[in-house]
Amino acid sequence: MDFNPCMKHKVVRKTVREFAEAELGAIAAELDREARFPREVAGKMGPLNYFGLQIPREYGGAALDSISYAITVEELSRVCPAMGLCITVHNSVGAFPILAFGTQAQKSRYLPELASGERIGAFCLTEANAGSDAGGVETHAVADDAGNYRINGTKIFVTNGGICGLALIFAVTAPDDPKRGASVFIVESEMPGYSVGEIEDLCGMRANPVSSIFLEDCPVTVDHLLGKPGDGLKIGLKTLDTGRIGIAAQGLGIAQGAFEASIRYAKERQQFNRPIASFQTIANYLADMATEIDAARLLLYRACALKDSGKAFGEAAAMAKLYCSAVAVKTADKAVQIHGGYGYSKEYEVERFYRDAKVTEIYEGTSEVQRMVISRAVLNRLV
């Protein structure tokens, strides 16, 4: 067991950090304030492979390992969590399912466009009556005699919704079959019957255009079906396992950003003629932050290492997601506390981290769902 980062991972971290600080550092607050997705930065990220992090080279991707992937999302989120969100969702739940479950024709057709960032991906599961319970999905796809489908339904809270060029739609194809009743379809945004709703007015992650997506009689040929009819739940669960690594990395990045801001502030801020870092209470906050961030990072990288070695990683990813998101929320909360009144002001980045952190406990499986996943695994293993 070796806990030292290898040379490649150190260089990946430096590379992404340099990019994020140079291209996003100065504008992250403005993007949040204006709820604007920075297309100009995304345009630069395409040729640098940020949209094809784990896509194989033959399709134009970077072919990175999972720890490098996690480090990339972590470092983007340390500066601009909303961009970290765009990248992790695109890579893990937009591109990954096509890579894992697509036919050769689907991979050749879609992966190059996804890897270059020409099409930004999204995964559409959530609906008004279906979130943690995928069984509540009402969007349905009806097959005709030729095996082609028409999709109808409304998806909500779609991350990347407003900029999405390729949406994976989770829809019911056999309403009477609870286990194999759902399927996943690849829907291109220019297809008839596809439209995007208003951008949601959310608490955090405001630079990401989260929206509803409407499907009205959207006709998809059978070659848009991902996997076989009825594979929906299987694809969904596998995709979420991968997605959880990304959201864990995002939470970790937010915690790291909030922590570093707190260190700087605690050293600078003078009260009673000395820096507040010299007060034991503040120093203890910093010590707890450092310890929890380190623990979160080890959990996350272990899940990544399991994934890369081809072992089952669902439970480890759930633990990483549960813990990293909790650490994000707690660290951002303490960061605001350390900053005092200034921390509550939009002038300081910790206010943004505070708002951005919360959703990491909600999307890609709430913390309650992660506990369900973990407890099931534990109960099955230990008799």
Partner 1 sequence: MDKIELIVCIKQVPLVSELPWDPKTKTLRREMAEGMMDPAAKHALEAALQIRKVMEEKAVAGKKKIRITVITMGPPMSEEVLREALAMGADSGVLLTDPRMAGADTLITSKILGAAIKKVRPDFDLVFCGSAASDSETGQVGPQLAEELDVPAAAYVERLDIENGHIRIQRLCDNFLETLEMDLPALVTIPPRTFFPRHVPLGGLQQSFEGGDVRTLLAADIALSPDLYAAKASPTKIVNVFSPTAEKENIRLRGAAKKVVEELFRRFEDRIGGAAGKDLKISDLKIPE
Q: Which residues form the interface with partner 1 (CB under 8 A)?
A: 7-8, 10-12, 14-16, 18-19, 22-23, 44, 47-50, 52-53, 57, 61-64, 68, 72
Residue 9 or 109: the one with the smaller Cβ distance to partner 1 is 9
Q: For residue 9, what are its two tokens?
A: 């991972």
Distance CA 210, CA 196 (A): 10
Report, in Å, the least distance between residue 206 CB and partner 1.
25
Report, in Å, the least distance between residue 172 CB and partner 1.
38
Residue 43 or 135: the one with the smaller Cβ distance to partner 1 is 43
Residue 69 or 170: the one with the smaller Cβ distance to partner 1 is 69
CA distances, 125 to each of 12, 24, 320 (Å): 32, 30, 22
Strand partners, 183: 171
Element (H, E) at 172: strand 164-172
Catalytic residue among 34, 188, 364, 368: 364
Report, in Å, the least distance between residue 277 CB and partner 1.
16
On whether the CB atoms of residues 23 and 44 are closer than 8 A, the answer is yes
Report, in Å, the least distance between residue 4 CB and partner 1.
11
Residue 185 main-chain phi, psi, to 5 deg: -120, 145
Q: For residue 333, what are its two tokens?
A: 């909360």
Residue 188 or 308: the one with the smaller Cβ distance to partner 1 is 308
Residue 2 or 176: the one with the smaller Cβ distance to partner 1 is 2
Q: What is the largest CA-CA distance in the chain?
A: 80
Residue 64 or 168: the one with the smaller Cβ distance to partner 1 is 64
Q: Which residues of 97-133 are buried (b: 16+ CB within 10 A; e: fewer)?
A: bbbebbeeebbeebbbbbbbbebbbbbbbbbeebbee
Task: Note if 364 is an active site residue.
Answer: yes
Crossing angle between the packed helical segments 81-88 and 66-79, to the nearest 10 degrees: 150
Q: For residue 44, what are its two tokens?
A: 């630069």
Q: For residue 209, what are its two tokens?
A: 């255009």
Report, in Å, the least distance between residue 79 CB and partner 1.
14
Report, in Å, the least distance between residue 105 CB and partner 1.
24
* Count of residues in the chain: 383
Distance CA 257, CA 251 (A): 10
Distance CA 199, CA 251 (A): 23
Distance CA 201, CA 345 (A): 19
User: Tell me, what DSSP letter sits at residue 157?
Assistant: E
Report, in Å, the least distance between residue 48 CB and partner 1.
5
Residue 18 or 198: the one with the smaller Cβ distance to partner 1 is 18
Amino acid at 280: Q
Catalytic annotation, residues = 364
